Amino acid sequence: MELQEGYLGRAYWRQISELLKEAAAFRQRALAAEDQLRRKKAKSRRTKTPFNGSTLEKEIKRLAAENSNDVARMQKVLLNAGKGIQVDSVVSAWLEYSGQIKKVWHPLPTSDDELLLMLLSSIGP
User: How many other CB atoms sit within 10 Å of the CB of residue 69?
Assistant: 9
With 0-12 CB in 10 A as exposed, 13-18 as middle and 19+ as buried, what is 42? middle
Residue 17 pLDDT > 60? yes
Do 80 and 36 fall into the same domain? no
Structural domain for 108, as ranges:
50-125
Q: Which residue type does 107 have?
A: P
Do 22 and 37 fall into the same domain? yes
Query: What is the share, in percent, of the chain residues with pLDDT greater than 90?
Result: 1
Do 54 and 7 fall into the same domain? no
Do 18 and 66 fall into the same domain? no
What are the Cα distances from residue 75, in Å, to 18, 42, 51, 115? Answer: 52, 19, 22, 11
Stretch 95-118: mean pLDDT: 73
> Within 13 Å of residue 83, how many CA atoms lie on the same side as its CB?
18
Do 37 and 59 fall into the same domain? no
Do 125 and 64 fall into the same domain? yes
Q: How far apart are CA 55 and CA 49, in angstroms?
A: 6
What lies within 8 Å, CB to CB, of 97 at 6+ separation is 106, 118, 119, 121, 122
pLDDT, tens only, 49-106: 444 445 457 777 887 888 888 888 888 888 888 877 777 888 877 777 776 555 567 7
Do 10 and 41 fall into the same domain? yes
pLDDT at 53: 41
Residue 38's φ and ψ, nearest 5 degrees, are: -60, -40
pLDDT at 3: 58
Do 11 and 23 fall into the same domain? yes
Stretch 28-43: mean pLDDT: 83
pLDDT at 52: 44
Do 54 and 33 fall into the same domain? no
Domain count, the chain: 2
Do 76 and 101 fall into the same domain? yes
